[in-house]
Amino acid sequence: MKAPAWKWFIEYTHPTQAHMHGISKYIFSCRTKYQDVEFLEVEFYGRCLILDGKIQSALYDEYIYHETLIHPAMLLAGAPKKVLVLGGGEGAVLREILKHPGVERLVMVDIDREVVEMCAEYLPEWNAGAFQDPRVELVFCDAREYVKNTGETWDVVVMDLTEPVDDGPSYLMFTREFFRLLKGKMAPKGVLTLQAGSFNPWLLECHSAVYNTIKLAFGTLRSYYTFIPSFDVTWGFIVASDEKDPLALSPAEIDAALKERGIEGLRHYDGEAHRGMFALPKDIRALRDKEKRIIEDNNPLITF
């Protein structure tokens, strides 16, 4: 078979493994102070945001990632009024949070103003007007410094950050010291949610180490997951609090809560999907629990 005449974007997930995407349109690329940024369109998934060589979200399936990250925590928190987002440059996290009518204050802290501004220009569907919502405040600074200095407490904290590689802009946001600091800025019944790396059994080190580290600060936490087509892998998330367990929410309760809040049109998340997300396969549970590593400021996670 003759090779197709495409230019390829190649995303390396390991020195011996990569995913290839045929590029239909190259839009823009640059280097900000913090990271390499690319916007391009691929044949299967449409327009994509790529940071440091890794797809962060794609037009075709970004709703899967963002609905999965946001709605379990927002329902678990009851009726959250104040929400803090760390990262979230595309604005889709804000879009999903604002579907919950009780939200009164929503602060997004991102270190890279250039990325946020470029996402608003090149990916307007992602934020769907959320950047202009009067409840939203955008802050451009180091998120750890913001958490350290804020005098506010938060009902929900969302961490939508790049993976904690040792030379990336986010690596000090996944340490024991940071999670203990963050815990002190949350309401007593506050809920934390974050993306937490690949669920590929060969690449589970990141998720497992993050899980172990959060476990030192929060009384109840759960791993959960869903398949992201543009990532070409099952992706892991973590939700944590001191007393609320997402496994206690039945599918019927979730569907009733979404209806009560007037949240319609979700394409991926509902009560049945929730039940599946938190049902971890046996091999993943075993590998995660086998890992004992704790991430610390002076011992950051080093991944490919």
Question: Measured between alpha carbons, how far is residue 64 from residues 92, 116, 128, 223, 231 in Å?
Answer: 11, 20, 16, 17, 11
Q: Spell out the residues 6+ positions from residue 10 whose beta carbon is closer than 8 angstroms to its own.
A: 18, 19, 20, 21
- Chain center to CA of 124: 19
Annotated active-site residue 160? The verdict is yes
Please say whether the beta carbons of 160 and 93 come within 8 A.
yes
**By C-alpha distance, which of 174, 116, 106 is closest to 144?**
174
Question: Measured between alpha carbons, how far is residue 96 from residues 49, 264, 293 in Å?
Answer: 18, 11, 33
- Do you know the residue count of the chain? 304
Please say whether the beta carbons of 199 and 236 come within 8 A.
yes
Please say whether the beta carbons of 13 and 233 come within 8 A.
yes
Q: How many CB atoms lie within 10 A of CB 117?
A: 13
DSSP label at 299? B
Q: How many CB atoms lie within 10 A of CB 222?
A: 18
User: Which of 52, 160, 270, 289 is an active site residue?
Assistant: 160
Residue 227 β-bridge partners: 234
For residue 52, the surrounding DSSP H or E stretch is: none
Residues acting as catalytic residues? 160
